[in-house]
Amino acid sequence: MTPIEIALEEARAAAARGEVPVGAVVTDPAGAVLGRAGNRVEELHDPTAHAEILALRAAAAARRSPRLPDCTLTVTLEPCPMCAQAASFFRVRRVVFGAYDPKGGGVEHGARIFQAASCHHAPEVVGGVREAECAGLLRDFFARLR
Amino acid sequence: MTPIEIALEEARAAAARGEVPVGAVVTDPAGAVLGRAGNRVEELHDPTAHAEILALRAAAAARRSPRLPDCTLTVTLEPCPMCAQAASFFRVRRVVFGAYDPKGGGVEHGARIFQAASCHHAPEVVGGVREAECAGLLRDFFARLR
């Protein structure tokens, strides 16, 4: 499976748990998975338990290092400002995401974290990967809630 | 002790552990402490283990709720964009901070999280409380490292 396929799998598993379906994975240059997670905000009653934060923490624990300078964070949704800043702090080389998030995103929208003067490490960014599939999961999830 | 005094105590304890001296506390309208923490980035090898995130999580756990709409987050340093966005997600009513952080801050500087279009809850902000004391702790800490 490619990283975005792993992230999609995590997003689907999150939906099955009643969580907003966002999934993330951290991979090394060889494609090995260092950390993977879905959203666990509801389960943990913790609004910081976004998929990206959990996957980054797991990867840092696996590496026994707070820095992941050769790694890629792949996530089904454009990271929010909190997760974008976290990705910068973990020094990831690249952030790949699926769906764009004009309302809550912090990479290509809103606070545009990596472009702020206070951002000391800006990863490469690739957006729109498997966009329709990633956005579709979110659309279906919210449609079912209504 | 006032909230900023508790935050300063946490910052001093962080310095004693070899951490960048930043401390935070979450209080309810009566001034009761729901969560307090110092920076634990080095100890936990986790760049998301900022004082604010740890104090907010502890407060939410104490309340058994991910939302803290009547609470104040008091911290010795202007929150970074990650922590500012977390404070917004936890829906705190007010953010009080000591020292301003032109290089890494995300409230009055850089990404200015609470002013971004993607910020759906902007707490009241009071900056510069016991500023000299809060900034002095950081200055002394970094002077000793050199």
Q: How do residues A102-112 score in pLDDT, each as one tens digit?
A: 999 999 999 99
Q: What is the pLDDT of residues B30-39, one digit of tens each?
A: 999 999 999 9
> Is A84 within 8 Å of A107 (Cβ atoms)?
yes
Average pLDDT over residues B100-121: 94
**Separation of CA B13 from chain center:** 15
On whether any CB of chain B is under 8 Å from the CB of A106, the answer is: yes
- Nearest-Cα distance to chain B for A3, in Å, is 23
Across the interface, of B48, B64, B118, the residue whose CB is closest to A81 is: B118
Distance from CA of B68 to the nearest CA of A (A): 11
For residue range A48-60, list pLDDT tens digits in order. Answer: 999 999 999 999 9
> Which member of B65, B89, B117 has the closest CB to residue A82?
B89
Q: What is the DSSP-derived secondary structure letter of residue B78?
A: P
* Banded pLDDT at B139 (limits 50, 70, 90): very high
Interface contacts (A, B; CB < 8 Å): 113
In whole numbers, what is the pLDDT of chain A averaged over residues? 96
Distance of alpha carbon A15 from alpha carbon A141, whole angstroms:
7
Mean pLDDT for the stretch of residues A78-92: 98
Percent over 90 (pLDDT), chain B? 97
Tokens (6 digits) for B19: 């951490």
| Cα distances (Å, whole numbers) of residue A24 to A61, A78, B54, B110 | 16, 11, 22, 26
Spell out which residues of chain A touch residue B34, defining contact as CB-CB under 8 Å.
Answer: none
pLDDT given for residue A1 in this prediction: 93
Which tokens go with A7? 């992230």
Residue A113 to residue A108: CA distance in whole angstroms: 9
Kindly report the average pLDDT of chain B as a whole number: 96
A89/B48 Cβ within 8 A:
yes
pLDDT at A20: 97
| Residue B53 in contact with partner chain A when CB distance is under 8 A | yes
pLDDT of A145: 84
A132 pLDDT band, cuts 50/70/90, is: very high
pLDDT in the model for residue B134: 98
**What is the number of helices (H) and of strands (E) in chain A?**
5, 5
pLDDT for position B146: 78
Which residue matches tokens 């579709």? Answer: A136
Task: Name the band, by pLDDT with cuts 50, 70 and 90, for residue A118.
Answer: confident
Answer yes or no: do B60 and A82 touch at CB < 8 A.
Answer: no
Residue B74 has pLDDT above 90, yes or no: yes
How far is residue B143's CA from residue B145's CA, in Å, rounded to a whole number? Answer: 5
- Which residues of B are part of the catalytic machinery? 52
- Interchain proximity B48–A57, CB inside 8 Å: yes
Q: Is A38 on the interface with B (CB under 8 A)?
A: no
Written as six digits, the tokens of A58 are 């797991």
| Pairwise CB contact (< 8 Å): A47 & B113 | no
Q: Which residue of A has its CA nearest to B64?
A: A45
Q: Give pLDDT, residue A98.
A: 98
Give the single-character DSSP code of A37: E
| Mean per-residue pLDDT, A123-142 | 97
Domains and CATH numbers, chain B: 3-140 (3.40.140.10)
State what percent of residues in chain A have pLDDT above 90.
97
